[in-house]
A and B are shown apart, each in its own frame.
Chain A
Amino acid sequence: MCFKNLPVEFDAQGKPFLRDGVRDPYTQGAAVAQGGSRQLGTQQIEELLRRNGHIKSVDFDPVTRVAGALAFHTVADLKARKVLEARSVATLFRGYEVIMIGRDPRDAIYITSRACGVCGGVHSTCSALAIEMAIGCQPPPLGILIRNLALALEFLYDNPLHLHLLAGPDYSAAIVEPTNPSLFALAQKTEAPHAEVHGFRTIADLMTDLNPLSGKLYLEALHMTRVAREAYVLICGKYPHPQTIVPGGMSSTITLSVMNEMFIRLSQFFDYGKKIVGIWDDLTEFFYQANPEYKKVGARRANLIDTGIFDDHEAYDATYQSANEWGNRRWYTPGAIVDGQLATTDLHTINMGLEEFVEHSYYEEWTGEGQKQRFPTDPAGKPLSPYHPWNKITKPRPAGQNWKEKYTWDTAPRWDRLGMEAGCYARLWNTAVAKKQPQNPFMEATGHSLKVRLPRGALPEMEVEWHVPAVWNAFERNRARAHCVASTAMIAMNNWLAAMDILKTGDTRTSTKFEIPRKGEQRGVGFWGAGRGYLTHHLVLDRGAVANYQILTPSTWNASPTDRWGQPGPYEEAVLNTPLLEETDDPKQFRGIDILRAIRSFDPCMPCTTHIQSDGGLITREVNTCACGLDG
């Protein structure tokens, strides 16, 4: 049975239905999520703080940055070296969903792109997918391939950037040497196993070139952002807010010259993929061997979700009815992983299991007395919760500001009432286990791993293999992200080759003409993804205008607050499980590096600030989290 908590069962033909005898199937008591870490209660925390000098209180300030922000509040026991309380706080409401109401749906492509200053293209594309589903418009094969290429290039910008500019400095000599001197001493004596690939003889050499602003790996990553962006703008015209993404495909003119220019840049990621995989394999294994406790940093249950991405140009028809079929033909397979096991790869089931809760968020409930559920089922007749995005109404209400009541502008999305994690690694995991990826010369899913063959460049041809990990933690997130650079580059290569085949036939069509219907009600959903993982846009059209628009981003999942069942959100859970391994007994020197590694491993992208109280006063450390969907 796919759902363990939602009251939905499947008949012999696989058709879902609401379980018999449940009078009010979606109420809080009808299904209770089980397992996982729990927050201590507010009173328990206050009691501990009062009685124990070594348990440190925590403070936070709202961070008033322009684009959105996140604060993180922790209570740490420096004696026991563990975290007692963790609260993730989105401090700004930006209201993109409110802005969309009443507009022409085509506006969504340009307005939602602005939800993020990095990954505008993924929001534009997700909008286009939602619109083309709602209005019934199928892109031509070349349009699908070029769209795939554009977004693969965006990910090739995004993933290395995170690894070497944001997460990398946490593993650099500049950080490791002062926070864990014995570890750095060991790194100086430890040979790097993949030295012949990445060129660093010892782990300490590698750490030195991860140093911010000056390290070779840091500067190289900056350069690679340019390479990916140059290729991207050949298709999309502009970065980060593309101008060529339309419902029904792409408005770009694609020629052999454009394809060749793109290939010159794409091919640079073949060698870069080999190198980045070697670096993060070496770093991860070094930390594990130095101290197995590092396996607990950022650890949480392996509950992951992704809608898959990069459509098979021969399968995608833009309909909801066939979403399971075209979804399972995607280059990265959709899926929900629960406790490390693949629960489903069907987009309908993923969609059915979605709910968003606001108990600890600055929003009003939209269900309850006198409220009619707008859509009891999806367009295929399968049951939906009143908390499903198609039924959700964004009602901002910043009241009741405390840990017990409400403390964030983020909502608590759940799948089957579980706190799920979004990340590019979710798609890697689904693809490896499901073995549904189209046949191709560069990649092979084995059921427990994903093999990627990278062509010869300056480095020889090489196969890299990502294995489903035994533990799920900060290190495995980063390692998997490095493997995503290699696999995304080869998915792009597959799509480039297919696009060239179509161009050779003289078919240069990249889009399909469409009209926005001015009558009736239509629904669509964009199942897509960002460099950071899961992305959906749920759209309702009414007589040609947007009646409801709901965005769920990776950060909506990852930064989500504790839910109505007391389950912490993924950041919170990961930090609660993190041991404090920093080598200092002096609170004034305490940097909270292990907590920072835990949070940053999620690939957060907008600035966030953690404030950790110690004897030395308030310690403020910059984290970064994507706030592009934290609101509503």
Chain B
Amino acid sequence: MARKISMKQAINEALDLEMTRDPTVIVMGEDIVGGTGSPGEDDAWGGVLGVTKGLHAKHGDRLMDTPLSESAYIGAAIGAATCGLRPVAELMFIDFMGVCFDQIFNQAAKFRYMFGGKAETPVVIRAMVGAGFRAAAQHSQMLTPIFTHIPGVKVVCPSNAYDAKGLLIQSIRDNDPVIFCEHKNLYGLECDVPAESYAIPFGEANVLRDGDDVTIVSYGLTVHRAMEAAEALAKEKVEAEVIDLRTLSPIDWDTVIDSVERTGRLVVVDEAHPRCSIASDVAAFVGQNAFGALKAGVQMVTAPHVPVPFSPVLEDLYIPNAAAIADAARRTLAPTGTSPRSIAA
């Protein structure tokens, strides 16, 4: 039965259920148990934000703390995946992928193709994404587009607890490498989540709100900003359809195209930087495949082309907000010729 739990609890529950169901599921990462080898409490942390708290007591050595050594343990997770385990490796902050990227994009992503379809690499790499944590340039990035660029990995970024649980269970059961992006500012957000196991298929966007006037496409935290914008627009009698992509690779083009063909207007919201982003990807795809349906130029609302700043006043300006999204929607609705040039922030 369903009850309200946070996204953090939902992720913990998905790991717990899958470890219980399948003895080949192992979990590794820096401080995911916490305190290993230290004189104090065992299971001291359960991850830096406590996402894996309590799992060590239940599943023992199948949860492994690692040295601070991302290349080695992310590679080990990938190697173990080719040898019959289903490892879930926590990279902590996705920003750290810079030190282990080879193992993800040259190894895990390419085994199946390079080896002529004879390899399976069912590894999940969990990592926190996103700004708003006052964590500055190296702990706050939304690096999803870097992974969607690479054939052979799948990229998931849930916006709520229900999706996080179902998508993580699917990620663990999936036979391909999955980059599972968890927005740290959504960890505390609660919604109804069934206690049972369930898997949400990849490539199935969620339509959060119906509307015939403008389509707003997003994923992760900015889905909530898009919903706020849609409520503001509704007061102006503008009904926005809000689409949460949920998975970025594969991506549900059909739902986006169907919606744009009905509304004729598109705003894409992405917490990543504007260049070669999810936003520019969606804009390009719609431009190529639904140009005839468009009544106005596609608007992108993204973070600016700058690193994530530290000072709260600057960071708050950095993150796409509801007002900017609503303004972008209004630009698509302005009579032709009066629309101000979109500023790619």
- Are A and B interaction partners? no
